[in-house]
Amino acid sequence: MSGRRTALAPPGPGSPTDPGDPGGSTPGAGSVALVGAGPGDASLITVRGLELLEAADVVVIDRLAPHELLEHCPPGAEVIDVSKRPGRHLVPQDGIDALLVERARGGARVVRLKGGDPFVLGRGGEEVQACRAAGVDVEVVPGVTSAVAVPAAAGIPVTHRGLARGFSVVSAHEDLISTVPARRDHTLVLLMGVTHLARSVSILLGRGADPLTPAAAVESGLRPDQRVTTTILRCLPEVAFSLGVAAPAVIVLGDVVTLSPDWERRLIPGA
C-alpha cells in the first residue's frame, strides 16, 4: 500500500462530525459507498464495487474484507483499518459512523469495504442511517454473502430438493438461535459462531434438535487455508475444540451437509 495514508482513530460521538448532529459541518460534494467485498476470495467483488474502489479517496476496511483489494486503490488514497476481533473493537461502531460522515463532508469519495454483504449481519444498515441523517449521499453495493458462498465452497448447498427447502442465517452471538427452526430439513447457518458454539448446540438440543444432525465447520472459507470439518450436532463442540477450529468460520447444520465431499471424513468420537 505504498503511497497511501493510514489512520486508526476516527472522531468519537459528540464531535462536530458526529452523524447524530446533522447541524454540524455543511455536507460537501463527497459520498459514501458501502461495498460488499465478498468472502475470502478477492475476485468475488462485483464490477461496481471494484469501480468504486478504484476511484476512492478514502477506504474504510474491515478485518474480513480481502485486504488484497487495497491494491486497486488509487495512489495516495487514505486507508483506514477498523477491524473488529472477538472481544476487541478498537473503533466502536459510532466512531465508524462518524468517520464516514466526516470524510464525506470533507468532499471525499469514501468506500466502506466490508466482508461478505453489507446488509447481512454487517451493521451496514446502521451506517446507511448515519449517512442519511447527516445528509450524506450513500450507495450500497451488495456483495456475495459468506452465509451462502462459504458453505458452497465446501460443497454444501443451503437448499437441495429432498433435503432442505429453506434455510436460516443467524449470528450465534444472539439469542435468535432459540427461535429458528431446529430441524434437519431446514438448514441453519451460524455466522460468528465459534466462540459460543457449545452454548448454541446446547440450546438447539434443548429445543429438540436431532443430535445426529449433520454438521460442518468451514474455516477461512474461499481462502487458500480453507478447512472443512464435518461431524454430527452432538459432537460438534468436542470436535471443534479438539481440532482448534477458529474464526473466521461458518457453521452449517442440516441434512445438506451430507452432500459435502468432506462428509466421508466426518469425525464422530466414540463411534
In tens, the pLDDT along 9-20 reads 444 443 433 444
110 phi/psi in degrees, rounded to 5: -100, 130
User: Is the pLDDT assigned to residue 1 strictly greater than 50?
Assistant: no
Of 7-11, 27-31, 97-101, 214-218, minimum mean pLDDT range: 7-11
pLDDT at position 17: 39
The stretch 151-171 carries a mean pLDDT of 97
pLDDT at position 19: 43
The stretch 135-163 carries a mean pLDDT of 98
Active site residue 21: no
In tens, the pLDDT along 84-95 reads 766 565 789 999
Query: Over the chain, what is the mean pLDDT?
Result: 90
pLDDT at position 20: 45
Q: What percent of the chain has pLDDT over 90?
A: 81
pLDDT at position 270: 79
The stretch 171-197 carries a mean pLDDT of 89
Report d(CA 181, CA 188) in Å as an integer: 8
What kind and span of H or E run contains 230?
strand 227-232
Model confidence at 210, pLDDT cuts 50, 70, 90, reads very high
pLDDT at position 29: 77
Residue among 81, 84, 137, 210 flagged as catalytic: 84
User: Is the pLDDT assigned to residue 150 strictly greater than 60?
Assistant: yes
- As given in the structure block, the three cell numbers for residue 49 are 464495487
User: Is the pLDDT assigned to residue 104 strictly greater than 70?
Assistant: yes
What is 163-229 written as a DSSP string?
Answer: TBSEEEEEETTSGGGGTS---TTEEEEEES-STTHHHHHHHHHHTT--TT-EEEEEESTTSTT-EEE
Domains of the chain: 5-143 (3.40.1010.10), 147-265 (3.30.950.10)
Residue among 41, 57, 192, 255 flagged as catalytic: 192
Active site residue 175: no
Active site residue 114: no
Residue among 62, 94, 117, 255 flagged as catalytic: 62
Model confidence at 45, pLDDT cuts 50, 70, 90, reads very high
